[in-house]
Structure 1
Amino acid sequence: MPLADRLADADQLSDDRRECIETCIEAAEVCEWCADECLGSEEMEECARLCRDVADIASLHARLTARNSPYSEQLAEVCIDVCEACAEECARHDADHCQACVDVLEACVEDCRKMRSS
Structure 2
Amino acid sequence: MLDTLSAQNALSSGQSSVLTYSAYRMQAQKMACPRNAKAQDFCSISTLQLPKELHMELNETPNQTCIQACIACATACNQCFAACLQEVDVKMMARCIALDVDCAAMCSLAANAMARKSEHAQAICALCAKVCRACGDECAKHDAQHCKACAEACYQCADECAAMTSAH
Percent of pairs identical after alignment? 35
The root-mean-square deviation of aligned C-alpha atoms, in Å, is: 2.0
Among 83, 86, 94, which residue is 2:132 paired with?
83
Cα distance in 2 for residues equivalent to 1:98 and 1:51: 10
1:94 paired to 2:143: yes
| One-letter code aligned to 2:69 | T
Instruction: Please tell me the residue identity of whatever aligns with 1:56.
Output: A
Residue 72 of structure 1 corresponds to 121
Q: TM-score under structure 2 normalisation?
A: 0.62
Runs of 4+ deviating beyond 4 Å? none
Structure 1 residues 7 and 95, CA gap change in structure 2 (3 angstroms): farther
Q: Name stretches of at least 5 consecutive residues in structure 1 with no aligned partner.
A: none
Q: Which has the larger radius of gyration?
A: 2
| Cα offsets for 1:3-36 (capped at 9, x unmatched) | xxx986347621xx10000000000000001011
How much does 1:97 deviate? 0.4
1:26 equivalent in structure 2: 72
Aligned residues: 112
Code of the residue aligned with 2:110 in structure 1: it is H
More helix by share: 1
Query: Which ranges in structure 2 are unaligned for 5 or more consecutive residues?
Result: 1-48
Normalised by the length of structure 1, the TM-score is: 0.87
Q: Does 1:50 align with 2:114?
A: no
Q: Which one has more relative contact order, counting CA pairs under 8 Å at least 6 apart?
A: 1
